[in-house]
Structure 1
Amino acid sequence: MIQEQKNKGTTILMASHIFEEVEKTADQVGILRKGRLITSETSEKLSQKHERTYMVTLETPQLATAFSHDFGGQIAKDDPCKVLLKHRANLEEIFLDYYEIK
């Protein structure tokens, strides 16, 4: 029903903690904290801002290759034992980060 109204051009203000639903339907996401709007952006921009890069060093190039395949990483150009991983946070992780919940 929400998607149908959205397709008609209707503006919808939705409050939800069902983050998957919000990501699927919302063009713009706002996060409130203590009654104040602390951010308002597209899910994509929020996700880009919360991208993290990790460098993992393994004992052998073979372990690094297996690890990179399992976790979608890339072998570092300067060291075959190092794997570069990038993680983009989903909306739930972003929300928890803004609320400083670990």
Structure 2
Amino acid sequence: MAMEMAELEALLRIHPKTLTDLDVAAALQLVRLSGEDYSNNNNNQKRRRRRRKNKNEGHFEDDEEEFDRSSQNEITSKTIEEIFGKEEEVARPRKKRYRSLVSVYQAP
């Protein structure tokens, strides 16, 4: 939240007359709504930096990367299910009940 306020104060210094209270409220709401994505992205960047640092020291943290991928895949699949619904089983093709016209009129 402190970072949000600092960003807003910076905006107000740049454009002091153009931002109204409604603009500030809308900006705060957008920051709150996007805050989770920002914090997750920020945490992932910190992990990457730590992983690079550890690799330089000769240590590897592949488990954490694998966990990040699997949790991201799970989130993605749940989002797709929410949008499109659960995947239904595909039924086998129906048996043909009748012969085709080509087979009926073919010369024996």
TM-score, normalization by structure 1: 0.21
Structure holding more helix per residue: 2
Larger radius of gyration: 2
TM-score, normalization by structure 2: 0.20
> With CA pairs under 8 Å and 6+ residues apart, which has the higher RCO, 1 or 2?
1
Structure holding more strand per residue: 1
